[in-house]
Structure 1
């Protein structure tokens, strides 16, 4: 799988989140998928979907600012804009196994409400 294909796979994954296409996301992950964030440490695929999957009707859009792919790894920096006026930036590290996503590590960035910085609690 080429770097371009992996970058496109990431774009498709973000689009699937916005349309609540859970099946597309499930199918994109390996069976031994792992997810880490400031709230989750190496959780498995079933735990990810029970704990982290939620309807994305609160999101207006994602702005994928940068996708850097090198071999079986990628970094994605994006801005998420909520319908409420909240927005935040995150960076995600992707690990691939063949044509599937094996892991995602999320790093949270700053949050804003209607363009004003909001300190996290």
Structure 2
């Protein structure tokens, strides 16, 4: 089961990079919930309205680690943007069968051409 969860996470990241909304939607449970510093426990429809946009700004995702235990996982990745920005996030995944039921995102620092960029807030 852990290998299946890891494969699902990797497939989801690949679908985001390919801007494949249908593949992403298929991976998420009907009762999917999403939380980030900008979103509090939003549902699947709201997630797609607010959070899913053209991924052409992403050059690549470098998945650094995935820890899976039963129906939960953590993934840490670095996102490299086409304009030289990069950031590292950690996401908590909860699964229901072969679907992602929940993602909680924890934002990391942002860099521009290797230099730290202070975030507004």
Q: What TM-score, normalized by structure 2, do the two folds share? A: 0.99
Query: SS where residue 19 of structure 2 aligns?
Result: coil
Q: Deviating runs (4+, > 4 A) in structure 1?
A: none
**Quick one: distance in 2 between partners of 1:115 and 1:54?**
25
Partner of 2:103 in structure 1?
104
How many residues matched?
120
Cα-to-partner distance string for 1:53-100 (whole Å, 9 max, x where unaligned): 000000000000000000000000000000000000000000000000
- For 1:4-19, list aligned pairs within 5 A: 4-19=3-18
Distance 1:98 1:56 in 2: 27
Gaps of 5+ in 2: none
Structure 1 gaps of 5+ residues are none
Q: Deviations over 1:5-38 (max 9, x none)?
A: 1001000000000001100100000000000000
Provide the C-alpha distance between the structure 2 equivalents of 1:50 and 1:118, rounded to a whole number of angstroms: 27
